[in-house]
Amino acid sequence: MKRSASFLLGMIIFAGAANAAFAWGDDGHQTVGKIASLRIKPRTAQKIAEILKQGETLASIATWADTVKERVGKTDPDADTNAFLQDVVHNEKNREWHYDDLPLNCKNYQTCTGFTPDNDIVHMLNVCISTLQGHPDPNHPLTKRNALRLLVHFLGDIHQPLHVGCGFIEVNGPNHTILIVRDPALIKQKNLPSDKGGNDLIIDGDRKNLHSFWDFTLVTSLMNVVGQEITSDTLGTFLEQNVKPKGSWNPHGPVGSWAAQWATDSLSQSRDHTYQSVRITGQRTIPVLSRGQPVVRDGQPVMQTVFDITRAADYEAVNRELVRQQLAKAGYRLAKLLDEIYGK
């Protein structure tokens, strides 16, 4: 769905809990769903149609997971959505399911001891897979439709580098510098705070953070390069036809290990690209905003510390191409996963 980037940015800048921002935005998630729909086997498509409501597609369900983040405990006319929202015990912290905060110098997901909680995106992808295979997790009871809606969304999230890799901030670094720390051991030793997947890193002195730049600005930039009137539907078709899958995109081993492999891949993208030229130039305290308005608690504005950054002049152009690859890769892998679950 084509939409204004400035409006979307206004919706999410400094909404508070950081890494729960909307990876790729609606356009990116729907693009991933579209690519997968073009690649899945007929048997897979049939099985999916049996789970979804009439008229629903992989693209149309791809954003559902973001719509329920703040609504747990409320009601909804859709039976499956209502079941999810009413299960406060199991789903209250569902916003934490969308990401990991892995130090940039972790070798891979499996070795990031202490940074992989049991409700992170990798664990929750495996919960969704098991549920769709007919083996529901008693700690995360989900209907199959909800599991599918979450799975499609999480495949997009896990391919947004800032939903996996993360900088950790040392305010009192050498020579009074502020550093983005990559070393897991040092992070643990000094108990350093994370930059919340780039949400606390402010670009060029304005109110746009690095996370929102990746969620929206780079996707919109890619869409504009591909074509002025392009939509997520046509972008998905374009990427499926024009980005050739690489051998490294294929998972290996049992399906329960695939999500960890994909997290490791995105961690390397964060390390080698997303943070590569980012430098902190200062810090300041600003009001937390939600939908463009200051957040107030007990009559006082809620404040947060953020860090101004610079990056290379060609940062947008270089990483726009990475976004092209990541969206295509996510759609390809989503199709592979769905075929593994349903296509045999």
Spatial contact of 295 and 287, defined as CB atoms under 8 Å apart: yes
Backbone angles phi, psi at 183, to 5 degrees: -80, 115
Mean pLDDT score of the chain, rounded to an integer?
91
Strands (E), the chain: 102-103, 165-166, 168-170, 179-181, 201-203, 279-287, 289-290, 293-294, 296-297, 300-301, 303-310
Per mean pLDDT, which range of 6-10, 64-68, 260-264 is the poorest? Answer: 6-10
CA 206, 208, 210, 216 dihedral sign is negative
What pLDDT band is residue 293 in, cutting at 50, 70 and 90?
Answer: confident
Please provide residue 15's backbone torsions phi and psi, each rounded to the nearest 5 degrees.
-75, -5
Q: What is the pLDDT of residue 344?
A: 73
What is the three-class DSSP state of 283? strand
Report pLDDT for 7. Answer: 32
Measured distance CA(153)–CA(28) in Å, rounded: 10
For 12, other C-beta atoms within 10 Å of its C-beta total: 20
The radius of gyration computed from the CA coordinates of the chain, to the nearest angstrom, equals: 19
Average pLDDT of the residues in 219-247:
93
CA 61 – CA 58 distance, rounded (Å): 5
pLDDT value at 21 more than 60: no
Contact of 273 with 318, CB cutoff 8 Å: yes
What is the identity of the amino acid at 175? N
Written as six digits, the tokens of 297 are 């608690």
Say if residue 64's pLDDT is above 70.
yes
pTM of the complete model: 0.91
* CB neighbour list of residue 257: distance below 8 Å, 6 or more residues apart: 251
| Model pLDDT for residues 109-162, shown as the tens digit of each residue | 999 999 999 999 999 999 999 999 999 999 999 999 999 999 999 999 999 999
5-342 belongs to which CATH class? mainly alpha
Give the contacts of 272 (CB within 8 A, at least 6 positions apart): none
Please check the confidence at residue 331 and state whether its pLDDT lies above 70.
yes
Amino acid 19: pLDDT: 41
pLDDT exceeds 50 at position 8: no
Please, which pLDDT band fits residue 204 given cuts at 50, 70 and 90?
confident
Average pLDDT value for residue range 310-335: 97
Q: Give the residue from 191, 188, 159 showing the smallest Cα distance to 269.
A: 159
Residue indicated by tokens 């720390």? 181
Q: Are 159 and 330 in contact (CB under 8 A)?
A: yes
Q: Is it the case that residue 201 has pLDDT exceeding 90?
A: yes
Query: Taking Cα atoms as reference points, which of 163, 145, 165, 144 lies closest to residue 155?
Result: 163
pLDDT above 70: percentage of residues in the chain = 93
Asked whether the predicted pLDDT for residue 81 surpasses 80, the reply is yes
Structural domain spans, the chain: 5-342
User: 23 or 279: whose pLDDT is higher?
Assistant: 279
pLDDT tens-digit readout, 307-319: 999 999 999 999 9
